[in-house]
Amino acid sequence: MTAKDEHIAVTRFREFLRVKTVQPKPDYVGCEAFLKKYAEELGLAYTGVECVKGKPICILTWAGTDASLPSIMLNCHSDVVPVSADKWTHDPFAADKLENGDIIARGAQDMKCVGIQYLEAIRILKQQQKVQLKRTLHVTFVPDEEIGGQDGMKLFVKTDDYKKLNIGFALDEGLANPGDAYKVFYGERAPWWLTITAKGKAGHGSQFLEPSATVRLLKVLNRFLAFRDSESNRLKHGRTAKSVPFQLGDVTTTNITILKAGVQHNVVPETASAGIDIRVAPTVDLNAFKEMIEGWCAEQDVGIEYVNTFWSNATTAPEDHNPWWRLLKGVAEKRKVDLEPEIFPAATDSRYIREIGIPAFGISPMRNTPVLLHDHDEYLNERVFLDGVDFYTDLVPALANNTEELVER
């Protein structure tokens, strides 16, 4: 297939992949220019909002026929993670396409594919099928998701610009699936980053100096490690209420990611600290969990700093009493695709949406595809990509033409 014969959706996908929105210095200027031009091409209204200067939230809007109905948000983050270029077989920002259709680029799975799938579904609906939607549709491209969304979605949902959108339901990213189904994420674990610091007596390494900063720290870390072991065991043997084996998102992970102590071998340090990454499962009482870990630290008089905590474990029910789930499931059944609902094991911008009470599912329509987000030689096959365009072509009108009162999360 020549470049001239390439599907327009694939061409736009590859163009977007070439915009180097790579952290820590994403080309948000180039990204916004690309999306403004795209909005004009598709006949969509464009709005740019900056909660932080130089970090635009790009909103492409297709107005519905009934302004009284809450709108639909189709969300995509525009930034991508850094690369180790020497580990790639192709330039990670060239978007090369192999003979078998694999498109290799950073962001191919995470998640520029989904943003273009939204827009190319809109192209088909507007320009080919001449569809009109009852609900207004907002396709949002937000910055800085890959570094926590602090200057992006976290701030955006608190603005009047967001409130004016009148969002009633949102879709966001999921993960590829090596199996023959779409993963659907109805919640995610709350990310907590802690620094714990112990203090003690300093002196020569030949003595028993009490209290010892390192001993205090290790005793607390042993509590975290014992908890880690118990959750690992739950993952291996636990089952949900429907007797489905636990997935990673169903348990709380704890990892010691930073250790700091000492200046040389024969000097007992007066301080010792550790950084800990915790992902708290939605079934956990967050206040009770905080009391538990503070109790561990208090036993050894160890200080604790909450570097980052997220205080919501809201989920969107993947059950038939939730109309949004019924619509999603109905489209999947029509397309003969199985859905596998799970808790997202890491964190996405969906958590900020659910936190303010808006139902949201995370789904990236990539099946029979290895999970390669943040990996070297990240790729997506064009056939899988185009199948995702068709999926959203069916899903968007199902969501946007639904007039049922939707109150379930």
> What size, in residues, is the chain?
409
- Residue 244 in this model has a pLDDT that exceeds 90: no
79, 110, 173, 250: which is the annotated catalytic residue?
79
pLDDT top residue among 241 and 147: 147
CA–CA separation, 166 and 56 (whole Å): 20
Number of H helices and E strands in the chain, helices first, is 10, 17
- What CATH number labels 3-188+313-400? 3.40.630.10
Percentage of the chain lying above the pLDDT 70 cut: 98
Whether 145 sits among the annotated catalytic residues: the reply is: yes
32, 110, 120, 145: which is the annotated catalytic residue?
145
Of the candidates 142, 20, 14, 177, the one whose C-alpha atom is nearest the C-alpha of residue 85 is: 20
- Residue 298 in this model has a pLDDT that exceeds 90: yes
- Domain residue ranges in the chain: 3-188+313-400, 191-309
State the average pLDDT over residues 135-161: 97
- Residue 28 in this model has a pLDDT that exceeds 60: yes
As a whole number, the mean pLDDT across the chain is 96
- State pLDDT tens for residues 325-344: 999 999 999 999 999 999 99
* pTM of the predicted protein model: 0.93
Of the candidates 95, 79, 105, 86, the one whose C-alpha atom is nearest the C-alpha of residue 22 is: 79
pLDDT band at 241 (very low <50, low <70, confident <90, very high): confident
- State pLDDT tens for residues 200-225: 999 999 999 999 999 999 999 999 99
CB 281 within 8 A of CB 248: no
Q: What topology is assigned to 191-309 in CATH?
A: Alpha-Beta Plaits (3.30.70)
- Residue 408 in this model has a pLDDT that exceeds 90: no
Of the candidates 409, 318, 407, the one whose C-alpha atom is nearest the C-alpha of residue 70 is: 407
The DSSP result for 8-61, as a single string, is HHHHHHHHHHTS--BTTS--HHHHHHHHHHHHHHHT-EEEEEEEETTEEEEEEE
pLDDT band at 305 (very low <50, low <70, confident <90, very high): very high
CB 391 within 8 A of CB 366: no
pLDDT band at 403 (very low <50, low <70, confident <90, very high): confident
Angle at 300 between CA 210 and CA 303, to 5 degrees: 110
pLDDT band at 1 (very low <50, low <70, confident <90, very high): very low
Whether 79 sits among the annotated catalytic residues: the reply is: yes
